[in-house]
Amino acid sequence: AQKVTQAQTEISVVEKEDVTLDCVYETRDTTYYLFWYKQPPSGELVFLIRRNSFDEQNEISGRYSWNFQKSTSSFNFTITASQVVDSAVYFCALSDFGAGNMLTFGGGTRLMVKP
User: Over the Cα atoms of the chain, what is R_g?
Assistant: 14
Could you say whether residue 64 binds another protein (CB under 8 A)? Answer: no
* DSSP per position, 25-53: EE-S-SSEEEEEEEE-TT---EEEEEEET
Sign of torsion over alpha carbons 73, 107, 20, 33: positive
Pick the closer one to another protein by CB: 43 or 62.
43
Binding flags for another protein, 24-53, as an x/- string (CB under 8 A)? -------xxx-x-x----xxxxxx--x-x-
What φ, ψ does residue 19 adopt, rounded to 5°? -145, 140
CB of 100 to another protein, least distance (A): 4
Pick the closer one to another protein by CB: 45 or 60.
45
Question: Comparing C-alpha atoms, which of 48, 41, 76 is closest to residue 62?
Answer: 48
CB of 63 to another protein, least distance (A): 21
Could you say whether residue 72 binds another protein (CB under 8 A)? Answer: no
Residues that bind another protein (CB under 8 A): 31-33, 35, 37, 42-47, 50, 52, 91, 93, 95-97, 99-108
